[in-house]
Amino acid sequence: MTPRSLHLGVLLLAGCAAAPATTKGNNKAMTEPVVHAHHAIDYIEIAVTDLAAAKRFYAEAFGWRFTDYGPAYAGIRGEGREQGGLRQDPGVRPGGPLVILYSRDLDATVAQVRQAGGRILKEPFAFPGGRRFHFADPSGNELAVWSER
């Protein structure tokens, strides 16, 4: 699979290049402009132990949409491009880079994560520039969500 662009709070600055890309999934081919920024995060794969459960969780908690590429991989569809993927793995290792999502309403997002079956690891806390919380998805991956308020 060829990675597509990812935008997780990363500002695409000078040095961007646009190129057409074709994505196939669910029997639909779609041509879309893809912007890649030199040395910027381009795509994030999240290892999950149960692909169906992970898709349900992220769809319910964050409204994410997916393109299935078989029984062990689902691409994460974003605004006009694929931003990452969920990859079926036998286990999830703790640690590694922390993926941080943005929310316009942090308290509502905390409630959505709980309702979707996520486990809050760090309740919302203030930091210079805003507030954030950390959670674990059903496979045990730790992610965070931040907001200016």
| Domain contains 40 | yes
Please give the residue range of the domain that contains residue 121.
16-147
DSSP, collapsed to helix, strand or coil, labels residue 94 as: coil
Q: Is the pLDDT of residue 97 over 90?
A: no
Q: If you search the block for the tokens 């694929």, which residue do you land on?
A: 82
Instruction: Please give the mean pLDDT across all residues of the chain.
Output: 80
CA distance 18 to 46: 25
Q: What is the pLDDT of residue 96?
A: 82
Residue 4 lies in a domain: no
Report how far residue 134's alpha carbon sits from residue 124's, in angstroms, rounded to the nearest whole number: 8
Give 81 or 45, the one with higher predicted confidence.
45
CA 40 – CA 77 distance, rounded (Å): 18
Q: Would 126 be classed as within a structural domain?
A: yes
Q: At what angle do helices 51-62 and 106-115 cross, to 10 degrees?
A: 150
> pTM above the 0.85 mark?
no
Task: Decide if 8 is inside a domain.
Answer: no
pLDDT of residue 14 exceeding 60: no
Identify whether the C-beta of residue 96 lies closer than 8 Å to the C-beta of residue 140. no
Mean pLDDT of 95-101: 89
Residues 100-127: pLDDT tens digits? 999 999 999 999 999 999 999 999 999 9
Is 6 inside any structural domain?
no
CATH code where residue 101 lies:
3.10.180.10
pLDDT at 41: 76
Whether 100 maps to a domain, the answer reads yes
Number of domains into which the chain is organized: 1
Q: Output DSSP code: residue 40.
A: S
118, 137 in Cβ contact below 8 A?
yes
90 lies in some domain: yes
